[in-house]
Structure 1
């Protein structure tokens, strides 16, 4: 499963690799710089499809649907998910 925090991290990585500032990408994607910053830094609780899609398009990326993995999660998978949830709680509880 892909979490919004993971999407934000990938967007930040791709933006930096493209040599774009947050302001430049936000303008290209027609979203506010604060929305982009919040997404990239994992503080976004929820974000609409259109905004995320506009950001991805501006970076030359796209959503891809695929069949979900039907195997049971491993202990490592569950521990990683727990770490991500804890990180998200720490980020959102600061504000």
Structure 2
């Protein structure tokens, strides 16, 4: 997953698989239903980390950090 839009889409799919409504997830995570809707549809330019973590928790997901392919110059 490399974009906020992809993340929002993945969360929407998870929410639907769990049979949850946007209002349920919004209430549980402390965001407005409108914000959640816009996030899931990729219509927000940014979504704060606290909101993201709360929404992920509301759908039973969490962030896992993995090492990405380095874009730094190598020591030759």
**In which range does the TM-score fall when normalised by the shorter chain?**
0.7 to 0.9
Over 3 Å off, 4+ runs? none
- Residue 32 of structure 1 corresponds to which residue in structure 2? 32
CA distance in 2, matches of 1:49, 1:21: 22
Per the normalisation by structure 1, the TM-score is: 0.71
Greater per-residue helix proportion: 1
Q: Which runs of 5+ in 2 are unaligned?
A: 72-76
Q: Which runs of 5+ in 1 are unaligned?
A: 72-95
Cα deviation for residue 50 of structure 1 reads: 0.2
Q: Distance in 2 between matches of 1:15 and 1:66?
A: 24
The total of aligned residue pairs comes to 71
Cα deviations by residue, 1:36-63 (Å, 9 ceiling, x for unpaired): 0000001010011000000001111001
Q: CA deviation at 1:70?
A: 3.6
